[in-house]
Amino acid sequence: MTQESVTQERVTQDAMDVQPFPLPRPSGCPFDPANEHRALHEQGPISRVEIWNKSTPWFVTGHEEHKALLSDPALSSDVHRAGFPHFSEATSHRQTDDVTFLHMDDPEHARQRRMLMPRFTKARMEMMRPGIQQMVDEHIDAMLAGPKPVDFVDAFALSIPSLVIAELLGVPHSDLEKFQDLTRVLVTRTTGVDDARNAQNNLLDYLEELINRKLEAPTDDLLSQLAVDRVRTGELTVRELATTGFLVLVAGHETTSNMMALATYAFLRDQEQLDKLLGMDDPKQIAGAVEECLRMIPIFQMGRRRVLKDDVEINGLTLKSGEGMILSSELANRDPKVFENPDVFDIERDARRHVAFGYGVHQCLGQPLARVELQVVLGTLFKRIPTLRLAVDESKLEFKNDGLSYGLVRLPLTW
Amino acid sequence: MKVSICEAKCIGAGVCVDAAEEVFSQRDEDGIAIVLDAEPRAELHAAVREAAVNCPAGVIEIQE
């Protein structure tokens, strides 16, 4: 690098505005990014933020840069690598046995992901649609038969994804109540660190016991297939497979649940879009509406975190090996270069370029399942209960502002 | 238009099947994407281009 370009780079970087991360969303705009972070994006698609430990990782807000960087093998997901921008003090002390392939690089990441891939094809997920439709119908029946108002989060949004994952993993019907209880503790906000660890261990113990049963009498489900193909062959231990099952649960439960509740709320506060949704009969249109929810409603609000293991040159900047990076999918999903009038919620737009599921080799494996679940819910709920409405004033709603996954703590509804 | 996939780098996210199910599918055994129709008819071209743009692993190649 020439002296001149070094100087140029320093000037650019010194002039950069650094904002804290995370910051609160603007009041009354529950789906919008913090104004300060929008201001950073207006200055450029790559900036810096300051996180809890005073480090200043790169902050990527541009859609094109988001895709380019998440495709770059210089970015590492390895949480044990120095410079990784941890979510919090607590997650910075993660033990090795807590780390799943989400936090590994290729080739080990690819090896483990590939074991799951055949169970997550779009065709397989579509086979689950009738069962999911039945689950949704039954939950709506129960809501309609029960007292009003109802907490939609508790009565619906937490329950369905957990039952869907139970089905995917192969949890037998006789164990469903136990499985629901175990998973509920995990995602309840009042659960302390020790209780969460206990809940995790109880669930892992349960999954181990279930895998042993599957080894004796395999059925057609994820745990049976991996038990037969990978545990019998010595490729995975029973505990490792239990951990994989646990990962599937963690990745697909709270995220999907939060989206179900937030998307329901998004339609209840926007009559025009709700009317459009109610008028949609073609499954393709409903699928399009789900894509717009994925674009517009942030779930993964703490950003995708990486650390650089090599220097990367991009947009005239040199991102140095050892530096951390936070990639904000919610700002990429509002990039005006890709989405016209990005702050307008419009379920008829083509939103499919969103990066709500991430990008690059770590992109969400369960996305076809999330899509089926959300398509069924949004295609059914308002048609079955056309008078569905908030049972409290909007200002009383409590959001998971500090959660890894954004959502509503409760959503009291009536009809 | 000629469509191909670099199978070794496919990550099985199913984005291509979602975008153009007439052109792409996934193998049951391993979830890897496959091309059903390597020379799709003109009305599918836009969907195939969209699949290539949105493929998270960038493994879809199009020759036009």
Reported as a single tens digit per residue, the pLDDT across A107-131 is 999 999 999 999 999 999 999 999 9
Parallel/antiparallel/unpaired status of strands A412-414 and A150-151? antiparallel
Q: Which of A5-14, A132-141, A353-362 has the lowest mean pLDDT?
A: A5-14
A359–chain B Cβ distance below 8 A for any pair: yes
Give the best-scoring range by mean pLDDT among A9-18, A185-194, A237-246, B3-12.
Answer: B3-12
Three-class DSSP category at A412: strand
A111–chain B Cβ distance below 8 A for any pair: no
Parallel/antiparallel/unpaired status of strands A324-327 and A18-20? unpaired
Q: Which residues contact A173 (CB under 8 A, 6 or more apart)?
A: none
Parallel/antiparallel/unpaired status of strands A18-20 and A46-50? parallel
Asked if pLDDT for residue A393 goes beyond 60, the answer is yes
Q: Where are the alpha helices (DSSP H) in A44-128?
A: 63-70, 89-92, 108-116, 122-127
Three-class DSSP category at A400: coil
Which residues does residue A59 pair with via DSSP β-bridges, in sequence order?
A47, A326
Asked if pLDDT for residue A388 goes beyond 90, the answer is yes
Confidence of residue A189 (pLDDT cuts 50, 70, 90): low
Cα A298 from Cα A29, distance rounded (Å): 12
Q: Are B30 and A367 in contact (CB < 8 Å)?
A: no
Compare A93 and A215 and report the one with higher pLDDT: A215
Three-class DSSP category at A308: strand
Residues in B closer than 8 angstroms to A374, CB to CB, are none
Q: Which helix (H) or strand (E) holds A38?
A: helix A35-43
Residues in A closer than 8 angstroms to B52, CB to CB, are none
Here the tokens at position A242 are 């239990």
Q: Are A121 and B12 in contact (CB < 8 Å)?
A: yes
Q: Residues B58, A70, A293, A270: what is their CA dihedral angle, to the nearest 10 degrees?
A: -130
CA proximity to A261, closest of A402, A392, A125, A390: A390
User: What pLDDT is stored for residue A200 in this prediction?
Assistant: 86
Q: Are B30 and A123 in contact (CB < 8 Å)?
A: no
A321–chain B Cβ distance below 8 A for any pair: no
User: What pLDDT is stored for residue A89 in this prediction?
Assistant: 82
Cα A50 from Cα A56, distance rounded (Å): 4
Of A353, A365, A371, which has the smallest distance from its Cβ to B12's Cβ? A365
Contact (CB, 8 A) for A258 and A351: no
A337–chain B Cβ distance below 8 A for any pair: no
DSSP B42: G
User: What pLDDT is stored for residue A6 in this prediction?
Assistant: 42
User: What pLDDT is stored for residue A14 in this prediction?
Assistant: 52
Q: Are B56 and A353 in contact (CB < 8 Å)?
A: no
Q: Which amino acid, A144?
A: L
Q: Which of A101, A112, A117 to mutate to test the interface with B (most CBs of B within 10 A)?
A: A117
* pLDDT cut 90: percent of chain A above it: 84
Q: Residues A236, A241, A243, A246: what is their CA dihedral angle, to the nearest 10 degrees?
A: 160
Residues in B closer than 8 angstroms to A358, CB to CB, are 56
Q: pLDDT by residue (tens digit) across B11-45?
A: 999 999 999 999 999 999 999 999 999 999 999 99
Average pLDDT over residues A229-246: 93
Confidence of residue A162 (pLDDT cuts 50, 70, 90): very high
Contact (CB, 8 A) for A361 and A110: yes
- Residue A193, Cα to own-chain centre: how many angstroms? 21
Three-class DSSP category at A352: coil
User: What pLDDT is stored for residue A196 in this prediction?
Assistant: 76
Average pLDDT over residues A132-152: 97
Q: Are A361 and B53 in contact (CB < 8 Å)?
A: no
CA proximity to A406, closest of A213, A261, A191, A289: A261
Contact (CB, 8 A) for A65 and A46: yes
Q: Please give the interface size between A and B, counted as residue pairs whose CB atoms are below 8 Å apart.
A: 70
Q: Which helix (H) or strand (E) holds B63?
A: strand B60-63
Cα B14 from Cα B20, distance rounded (Å): 10
Confidence of residue A194 (pLDDT cuts 50, 70, 90): confident
